[in-house]
Structure 1
């Protein structure tokens, strides 16, 4: 494809912003940025613009926020943009054929997994929770399925033992932006070589629910650690202590013998809090009790002594 093409960009969260900026930096003309409507956020439930809307306005790109991309006025607006290509990155609405057929060169998607694994809205979080060693980014040709299109290019990224949903998503957003620019540069060559996904190998990464953050102490210490990291920044991992919700932000599997059922507070060094998991103890490093502040465990224990033998649920 020629070095400058007309692009309609569709994206919503922070993950999509590096792709938007990289396309502009590569000399492409972003004729329209399409993003989700402003949503209530924070304690005051004030309407908040998406990360893509904020970035697009700073860049002087017109913004369009349809309730549905398939309404007749949305389809008309997209048609009038006369785009060579639609580029989609975590937009939040599935595109039907009426929209996919508009751009001359089709529509491509930046997805934060190695497809066909982890299709769906939360691939990064589930890859950590399920303790994958690596993940990556796939650029695919869009069809009307959910992340089922032919693969144009991929980049693999290792998952570190300290990665959170937030840190890994941030890293993948930049890898994805670079891969996107390179894929569009070689689009004419890559398009006929696009590889159909093996649907028998597909797995799904559903949207996380609040309840997905509840710690099951009957799992291994490694699984619990992965859940804690994978649910950052949302919904966050939590347990129940004396009837109050205790959020856990960081933990570390320890070595040691267990002589107590899962969830039991173990005898541990004075400024540490060790809990029995299925296979070994896990040490909680940073927590927040309901209506309290987030704090390192040593500071927390000064104000909230936790006796050995107490059971968390």
Structure 2
């Protein structure tokens, strides 16, 4: 084999095979016929065999030429597939997005966001996993997940916060509870009220609420505690008391017919998307963050905050 073939030679050969003559091929490519002839001659020298032969002033492909054309077409079809794949990736309609989230988000808001995001993205492989926050952050850092949604603040370590929002805790109570007559539940309303504390005693949110109760000399009738909002909702449903939960759980509770009211003074609830700190936000990940913000933030009055502000809540 002589000199390596090049794309111009292959393009000229393909045009001749498709058009049936060098004249028509030259017209299609916008070059002169001598230029087409030279490209084909150089290609034949590179290959070491004839591609065409002339009979009665007409050009015919040799058996080797026809076999080589089949391979060239496979090559061009592969290039076209690559081009279409690139278009889908550019339009964020292809690829993979592995989402991880704290159970709170994985069982309330994210399924609906994920369902809407999937529309028109049949070739995007989507998945959703639920992990406690410490394990979630570790798996995001290890790139087991491409994107994670976590309650903040948290020990982010080897991950970074790509986007963060702030809202407020809400008070939930069973249907028919006296809180249904209030526009807003105040901390004083919890005095001697059957109450379900949520979260671990060493969490910032739990400690913030405990300080608030002490400062206002309020002593709820604490019943069974719950480690997460889903458990608290089940206990409230069973008549064990009222609870303070995140806005996602409160929305779900209200949709089920329960009582959900704002709480005063406001207690912040922050959340954010996290990524491995070794890379930038990908286009598909940013598209999902944007979709989440468009679908959820207005409805639940989530206020965007700077990532560093989430650690100071």
* Same topology, TM > 0.5: no
Q: Which has the higher contact order (CA 8 A, sep 6+)?
A: 2
Structure-1-length-normalised TM-score = 0.24
Structure with the largest fraction of helix: 2
Structure-2-length-normalised TM-score = 0.24
- Larger CA Rg, structure 1 vs 2: 2
